[in-house]
Amino acid sequence: MSMDDIALAVIGGTGVYKLAALEQVESHLPETRYGFPSGPVRVGMLAGKRVAFLARHGEGHSVPPHKVNYRANLVALQMVGASRVLALNTIGGITEAYGPRVLACPDQLIDYTWGRVSTLSEEEGSEVLHVDFGDPYTPALRAQILAAAQRAQVAVVNGGCYGATQGPRLETKAEIARMKRDGCDLVGMTGMPEAGLARELGLSYACLGIVANWAAGCGDSAEITMEEVLANVDAASAGLLPLLQELLADR
């Protein structure tokens, strides 16, 4: 399958299951060499550019983080013509600058996940890939996102370290304290292996984190509820559309 150039692919996380502003939407469900993606790839027009959108957990949030077919998701986006990917991740805040309703564009990550298929080199006979991953998010795309946010007057915290945990349960206070000692500012469950696979596939990839809650033991954290998480995602997401429009205008 090939299509006209896709200016940007967006992967939506928890609470972001569609791009309502997409127009002239076509739906595709390509079967990749790794199986099917989490759901249909919606391709439409936004700010005069072709944009692809995929809900990471499925549009009904039916796929838990450790069961997401990250390889199929990224290859499906590549099959419809995407070469740069903006990953929206719903995350928890650990350090002071990353409270609820903050948008953050991290520049580093630590992988605490386990047992996930994390490479294109998994199958016997496949090429062994040793990709440079010192900067896990594509610096040029990060710079474009931050410049677009500035033009759109949308506050985005520049930088920070994303710690990727296994899920689907949330973390203990002791686990978060360890992550803080390790240098993590943010915690989420889907940052890896997605970022590593994008690098193996040669995709430009960056994360825009939507802070939905304080992580356990941080800030004024109490018991975390999904109602609170989704309310904070909705509030923080208000800046996404103007940011995307500016990002696409720069294409």
Answer with the residue of higher pLDDT: 75 or 120: 75
Note the pTM of the prediction, 2 decimals. Answer: 0.93
Residue 221: pLDDT over 70 = no
Cα 72 to its chain centre, rounded Å, is 15
pLDDT at 85 over 80: yes
Instruction: For residue 28, name the pLDDT band (cuts at 50, 70, 90).
Output: very high
Q: What percent of the chain has pLDDT over 90?
A: 78
Q: Where are the beta strands (DSSP E) in the chain?
A: 8-12, 23-28, 41-46, 49-55, 84-93, 103-105, 108-111, 157-158, 161-164, 186-188, 204-214
Q: Is the pLDDT of residue 44 over 50?
A: yes
Q: Work out the pLDDT band at 4, boundaries 50, 70, 90.
A: low
Q: What is the mean pLDDT of residues 147-151?
A: 96
- Provide the pLDDT confidence category of residue 226 given band limits of 50, 70 and 90: confident
Q: Residue 9: what are its φ and ψ, rounded to 5°?
A: -110, 135
Answer whether residue 77 shows pLDDT above 50: yes
Question: CA-CA distance, 220 to 178, in Å (whole number)?
Answer: 18
Span 215-225, average pLDDT: 81
Task: State yes or no: pLDDT of 91 exceeds 80.
Answer: yes
Name which of 134-138, 165-169, 208-212, 221-225 the model is least confident about. 221-225
At 102, the pLDDT band (50, 70, 90 cuts) reads very high
Residue 2 banded pLDDT, cuts 50, 70, 90: very low
> Could you tell me if 162 and 209 are in contact, meaning their C-beta atoms sit under 8 angstroms apart?
yes
As a whole number, mean pLDDT of residues 20-27 equals 88
Closest CA to 112 of 217, 211, 186, 222: 186
Check whether 140 has a pLDDT greater than 50: yes
According to the model, what pLDDT value does residue 122 have?
A: 87
Contact between 7 and 80 (Cβ < 8 Å): no
| Amino acid 251: pLDDT | 62
- Whether the link from the prior residue into 193 is cis, omega within 30° of 0, is yes
Architecture of the 8-249 domain? 3-Layer(aba) Sandwich (3.40)
The residue among 143 and 1 whose pLDDT is bigger is: 143
pLDDT at 1 over 50: no
DSSP state of 170: P
Long-range contacts of 227-231 (CB under 8 A, 24+ apart): 229/14, 229/15, 229/90, 230/14, 230/15
